[in-house]
Amino acid sequence: MSTTQTPGQSTPSIGASIPRREDRRFITGAGRYTDDIVLPNQAYAYILRSPHAHALIRSISTDAALAAPGVVAVFTGHDVAADKVGGIPCGWLVKSKDGSNMVEPPHPMLVADRVRHVGDQVAVIIADSKAEARAAAQLVEVDYDVLPAVATLGDAITDGAATVWDQAKGNVCFDWDLGDKAAVKAAMKSAYKVIEIEVRNNRVIPNAIEPRAAIGHYDVSGDNYTLYTTSQNPHLIRLLLGAFVLGIPEHRLRVVAPDVGGGFGSKIYHYAEEAIVVWASKKIGRPVKWTAERSESFMSDAHGRDTVMKAHLAVDKEGKFLGLCVHNVANMGAYLSTFAPAIPTYLSATLMAGCYSTPAIYVEVKAVFTNTVPVDAYRGAGRPESAYLLERLVDKAARELGMDRLEIRRKNFIRKDQFPYKTPVALEYDTGDYESTLEMALQKVDYQGFSARREASKKRGKLRGIGFSTYVEACGIAPSALVGQLGARAGLYEAATVRVHPTGSVSVFTGTHSHGQGHETTFAQLVADQLGVPYDKVEIVHGDTDKIPFGMGTYGSRSLSVGGSAIVKAVDKIVAKGKKIAAHLLEASEADIEWKQGEFLVVGTNRKKSIGEIAFAAYVPHNYPIETVEPGLEESAFYDPKNFTYPAGCHVCEVEIDPDTGVVQVVEMVAADDVGVIINPMIVDGQMHGGLVQGIGQALYEEAQYDESGQLLTGSFLNYGMPRASDFPFFKVGNHVTACTHNPIGAKGVGEVGAIGCPPAVVNAVLDALAPLGVTDISMPVTPEKVWRAIESAKATH
């Protein structure tokens, strides 16, 4: 479908479910992903990775590999050290309670002396073909002295545990806290009851379907570098790679993120392979391409989650929450990935109020190192962990108080009239309407009919349960000054340039990056609406640091609320300039010019100029206010958000459990969300569907499991449970909008809410189904065997 509009007409763009314009290239096989790019004379890199979780490298011999057919070069950590290459930096500094900085270990591009996780990169073999590089890698001889490994978060804090980093005593990276400890202590004392819970947020592997890839190209004629990479944020990679690792100034380094096949957080970070291909390209004088095999992705893409939280909730007799105390242990893995320290702290602890008016909250976070793949943000990043803890805890409180699960939620909701609402954990929620999304969800799921459905399931020998989750999250990352105070080493604004061409078509350059989100469509709808030009005449450009002035990229559900707002600001500047030009052409004073979607009018008359006429005049300035206004019509803007945005909603899950096998089937999944103002409902629904499946995946199927020696047991699709089509019903999603009060669009963000709100709804539904058997706790992922064991042990004790 395409929209046909004539200039000056009001466009139906905002709020229209326009099928995406980017689809055409993807459905015809014309997409251009990093691995599709072939540069003349390119060589292929294969990364030799550690097979051990923890070992000293006694020696590396590369002679045989160097002599193998097709091999161009073999580099090790010693070559990296000799070139004085910097380490992979961490983008966030967290300070411990005592004011000391977190332990920030070095993260070399290639490891020379001591490997710290299975998959750590030890050498790079570069050859004329991928097959030759791979074959030669088998000829590199590495003599390892295997050390005891710390395989899990639990192992890390056990007395006598092995040490991942000598400088991190007890494997602790930082020990941080937030909130009023004394107030919480007092609340516990005065409580009618204190509800206790311990929950583990299982470690998951992002598994975007496109494996990571990178091509480095050093051009000797211009002494400049180009990196093609599977990134959610090319400018961020340019900054980290250029300034911290290889010492290349921005104007000599171009980073291109072409079509990218999904990210979910895992393609935010600066990875060693990106630095390796750029560095190696200069060394060998040829472009160098690296593409991950899936088995490499499992052991080198940053993993997600992996926390254990203990919490105490003080409640009064009526079920009002008085205080909450949370102790969180979070796994950082072997190195600090780009945003890792921020996840359990600023993106999780700050969400511990949830959508409840709990007056006192105190959160401690102990981050630990283990001999595992680094852990960083994965769809939701910190917020799913908080939502999961809170929603499991609230259900447990209801059970222990003999209250209805919805009643206890309603009783503690922050009411519509309480916004803006300042939580005890540093955030100020601008708007929300939690009651309405709850109501909408109940209607969509036909809550009234549940007991009949439960009976029908029972007749078929199945246990049916219903579970709820009412969550809030913070996204639209982020106010720079605020995150700066919190340890971020970068600003988190967004940039945009809007270029109105002489004939009235428009190019928009955005610093966000679309890797499935549909920016090329949504942003065009936004600009068409704001500028009153036809949708078809607006082009969105992203993913190339040489084309786009600047940007921080796409993650944290920020693209529309922050990136879109930057675009709106740039459009505003276009309009402001257009008014001056129009005033001149219409021989009116600027104050009398009124802007109305695509047209500049003289107030109270029918005299007007279209944006197209203004653009033409700007580029052909024959009759033009040349003394005061420059020719051309192009404006750039940076937008730094004033606050986070706070999407919220209610997710309801119904499951059927086969008591003989323990298999859990999701039979209904309802999501009623407030994601703020919506530009393209079809795309928003699609984001919800995808988020829900990742949430259900975490709840039921997915887990990265390590054995005690630090080997990844679930290192391929043979044993890592990826969600499949047959696992799901059609979902029911809906929206109730309260507009964000502090950005010009009113958008909040939708990318992550599905993965944030859904897991506790699923697990609460499982526990509801199993409650009649006496089961009160189960951990994610809720595998058939776990359900079977829970039923068996409940049978034994009841």
Partner 1 sequence: MRDFQFHRPSTVADALRILRQASQGKLLGGGQSFLPVLKLDMAEPSDLISVSGIPELRGIRSDGQQVTIGAATSHAEVARSAEVRAKIAGLARLADGIGDPQVRNRGTIGGSLAHADPAADYPAAILGLSATVKTDRRSIAADSFFTGLFETALEPDEIITSVSFTVPQRSAYAKFASHASRYAVVGVMVAQYAGGVRVGITGAGPSAFRWKQAEDALSIRFSADAITAGMTYPSDDLTSTPEASAEYRAHLIPVMTRRAVQAALAG
Partner 2 sequence: MIRVTLKVNKRPVSIEVEPRTLLVELLRDKLQLTGTHVGCDTSHCGACVVHVDGRSVKSCTMLAVEADGATVTTIEGLAQGGKLHPMQDAFHQHHALQCGFCTPGMIMSAVELVETRPTADEHETREWLEGNFCRCTGYHNIVKAILSCRDAMKEKSA
Any contact of residue 40 with partner 2 (CB under 8 A)?
Answer: no
Among partner 1, partner 2, none, the one that 701 touches (CB under a kind-dependent 5 to 8 A) is partner 1
Least separation in angstroms between residue 312's CB and partner 1 is 32
Q: How many CB atoms lie within 10 A of CB 379?
A: 26
Residue 644 CA, chain-centre distance (Å), reads 15
Exposed / middle / buried, residue 288 (Cβ in 10 Å: 0-12, 13-18, 19+): buried
Residues touching partner 2, count (CB under 8 A)? 59
Residues that bind partner 1 (CB under 8 A): 131, 135, 138, 295, 660-661, 701, 705, 713-714, 717-722, 783-785, 788-789
- Alpha carbon distance 281, 277 (integer Å): 6
Stretch 211-230 residues interacting with partner 2 (CB under 8 A)? 211
Among partner 2, partner 1, none, the one that 419 touches (CB under a kind-dependent 5 to 8 A) is none
Strands 55-61 and 114-115: antiparallel
Any contact of residue 689 with partner 2 (CB under 8 A)?
Answer: yes
- Alpha carbon distance 441, 649 (integer Å): 9
Least separation in angstroms between residue 655's CB and partner 2 is 17
Q: Roughly how many angstroms between the first and final C-alpha of the chain, as a whole number?
A: 61
Choose one: 171-179, 417-425, 504-512, 721-729; the region binding partner 2 (CB under 8 A): 721-729
Any contact of residue 419 with partner 2 (CB under 8 A)?
Answer: no
Q: Which is nearer to partner 2, 148 or 681 (CB)?
A: 681
Q: Is 594 helix (H, G, I), strand (E, B) or coil?
A: strand
Angle of helix 753-770 relative to helix 383-401, nearest 10 degrees, comes to 30
Q: Which structure tokens are listed for 3?
A: 């929209």
Q: How many CB atoms lie within 10 A of CB 506?
A: 24
Least separation in angstroms between residue 133's CB and partner 1 is 13
Place of tokens 């909450």: 324
- Alpha carbon distance 287, 214 (integer Å): 10
Q: Which is nearer to partner 1, 339 or 706 (CB)?
A: 706
Any contact of residue 734 with partner 2 (CB under 8 A)?
Answer: no
> Cα angle vertex 562, ends 559, 567, to 5°?
90
Stretch 281-310 residues interacting with partner 2 (CB under 8 A)? 293-295
Q: What is the Cα gyration radius of the chain?
A: 28
Q: Which of 12, 14, 16, 31 binds partner 2 (CB under 8 A)?
A: 31
Least separation in angstroms between residue 262's CB and partner 2 is 4
Q: Which of 82, 182, 603, 722 binds partner 2 (CB under 8 A)?
A: 722
Q: Is 523 helix (H, G, I), strand (E, B) or coil?
A: helix
Contact 227, 240 (CB under 8 A): no
Among partner 2, partner 1, none, the one that 564 touches (CB under a kind-dependent 5 to 8 A) is none
Among partner 2, partner 1, none, the one that 788 touches (CB under a kind-dependent 5 to 8 A) is partner 1
Q: Which is nearer to partner 1, 388 or 701 (CB)?
A: 701
Strands 494-500 and 193-201: unpaired
Least separation in angstroms between residue 660's CB and partner 1 is 5
Among partner 2, partner 1, none, the one that 721 touches (CB under a kind-dependent 5 to 8 A) is partner 1
Strands 307-315 and 193-201: antiparallel
Place of tokens 């160098």: 288
Among partner 1, partner 2, none, the one that 26 touches (CB under a kind-dependent 5 to 8 A) is partner 2
Contact 341, 174 (CB under 8 A): yes
Least separation in angstroms between residue 273's CB and partner 1 is 20
Any contact of residue 160 with partner 2 (CB under 8 A)?
Answer: no
Beta bridge partners of 508: 498, 540
- Alpha carbon distance 214, 212 (integer Å): 7
Choose one: 162-170, 304-312, 403-411, 512-520; the region binding partner 2 (CB under 8 A): 512-520
Least separation in angstroms between residue 728's CB and partner 2 is 6
Residues present in the chain in total: 798
Q: Which residues bind partner 2 (CB under 8 A)?
A: 1, 19-20, 22-33, 35-36, 38, 131, 207-211, 259-262, 264, 293-295, 515-518, 682-683, 685-686, 688-694, 716-718, 722-726, 728, 730-731, 754
